[in-house]
Amino acid sequence: MSPAPADPAAARGSGPPRRVAYLINQYPKTSHAWMRREILAVAGAGFDVQRFSLRRVAEPLVDPGDLAERERTHFVLDHKPAVLLATLRCALTRPRRFLQALRRAWFIGRRHPRGQLAHLFYLAEACYLLGRLAHRPVDHLHAHFGTNSATVACLLETLGGPGYSFTFHGPEIFESISQHGLRECLHRARFAVAISHHGLSMLKRWSDYAHWEKLHLIHCGIDGTFLDGAATPNPKNQRLICVARLSPVKGHLVLLEALAQLARRGKRLRLALVGGGEFEGEIRRVAAQLGVLDQLEFLGWKSGDAVRAEILASQAMVLPSFDEGLPVVFMESYALRRPVISTYIAGIPELVENGRSGWVVPAGSVEALVGALEACHGASGAELDRLGAAGRERVEADHDAAREASRLMQRFEAAIEAARRGGAPC
């Protein structure tokens, strides 16, 4: 593998801008502000960037940045008749490649939780994108998540579309993909990115050793919105914040049980819930049953600036998830010098260090979470400031959005140059 150039712009010299397409299942999305930062950084560095989302997000968009990105994004499933026509056209005009892609879709879907029929739809989406990119070709396509977006990218390449890469985030391995499908996407990709060492280990687990040189660790990051402000002392107000989709996987009910136990001991913490989702009714019902509903603030989805203000108004971030990759809201909390309480899963222990920048507990353990919440409740303002400052040091070192986007752009440049030379992917 040849080393990536130190600077994407330097690698291009005075040549034309590189043309890159992003493919995402749902974009823009409130909980994926980090993805918007990455795309804008790539575009800001001189790349010609096209945005494709397979479908629109059902939840409301409140951040001005997301609203602006929505106008720049092409939504594939807004054009279902055209998708069907593109599939027929592709089958008739390039039958050999279409048959290869059909076999690959059938193979990937054979053991996939969503089945083979879903993968025939993914093939149709790939046919549609092939036609779109024929009018405005790109040098490289990058997908986020190892789910249907990576599969569509793989099928698109099989049809004769651009070479691709994808970023693997971690939790999708448990619910949304099959291992042999991930293996197929990995082996055909120019390169693949993981956002944590845990995710990188999963990619190594499901790929042949000969392909390991294509695997890279590039973190998600945050920008000056969170990093540039002056330090604000911890408010010591017994208020916690949880920024997450209201979903069973986020562990909200475990958190409610922990709050109830603390309340019985005379320690009534307030909890601000930023986010929305189908699970809100159940959270309200269980909170009322446990007698802690009056301790909760349901704030719904917020813009980036509003989330920043809510974090600053809280003592600590808490998210006792059962399944995560590496939550960017933890990086945001640390950038604002607020400690984090979370669980020993996936990439979280790589960022949240127990006793140094917060508390990490076994997932699903109410007792351990009670202990962490009690420790936070009893900590002095100076101690909370120390924990938050340690977290900020880690974020500044490893999770600067501009720096991480630059590393990804280096991979784009290296992959494009290797493809033009006919060499191996990087």
- Give the pLDDT confidence of 335-386 residue by residue, as tens digits: 999 999 999 999 999 999 999 999 999 999 999 999 999 999 999 999 999 9
What CATH number is attached to the domain comprising 309?
3.40.50.2000
Specify whether the CB–CB gap between 1 and 424 falls below 8 A. yes
Kindly state whether residues 380 and 263 are assigned to the same domain: yes
Task: Give the integer Cα–Cα distance in Å for 157 and 126.
Answer: 9
Q: Residue with structure tokens 């989330």?
A: 307
pLDDT digits (tens, 9 = 90+) for 11-62: 455 567 899 999 999 999 988 999 999 999 999 999 999 999 999 998 889 9
In this prediction, residue 1 has a pLDDT band, given cuts at 50, 70 and 90, of very low
- Average of pLDDT values for 147-155? 96
Q: Are residues 62 and 23 in the same domain?
A: yes
In a shared domain, residues 77 and 215:
yes
Residue 110: the pLDDT is: 87
**DSSP-assigned letters across all residues of 206-275:** TS-GGGGGGEEE----B-HHHHSSPP-----SSEEEEES-SSGGGTHHHHHHHHHHHHHTT---EEEEEB
**Residue 233 within any structural domain of the chain:** yes
Per-residue pLDDT at 186: 96
Q: What is the pLDDT of residues 304-342, one digit of tens each?
A: 999 999 999 999 999 999 999 899 999 999 999 999 999
What are the structure tokens assigned to 37, written together?
A: 């930062």
User: How many structural domains does the chain have?
Assistant: 2
- pLDDT confidence bin for 64, thresholds 50/70/90: very high
Indicate the average pLDDT of the chain: 93
Verify that 179 and 229 share a domain, yes or no: no
- The answer, yes or no, to whether the previous bond of 327 is cis (omega within 30 of 0) is no
Domain shared by 113 and 239, yes or no: no
Percent of the chain at pLDDT > 70 equals 94
408 and 273 both lie in a single domain: no
* Domain region containing 131: 8-221+400-421
Q: Which two tokens stand for residue 148?
A: 């249907």
Does position 199 have pLDDT exceeding 80, yes or no?
yes
Say yes or no: 170 and 209 in one domain.
Answer: yes
| Percent of the residues in the chain that have a pLDDT greater than 90, as a whole number | 84
pTM above 0.75, yes or no: yes
The answer to whether 138 and 19 are in contact (CB under 8 A) is yes
Cβ-based neighbour number of residue 11 at 10 Å: 18
**C-alpha atoms less than 13 angstroms from C-alpha of 305 in its C-beta half-sphere:** 5
End-to-end CA distance of the chain: 6
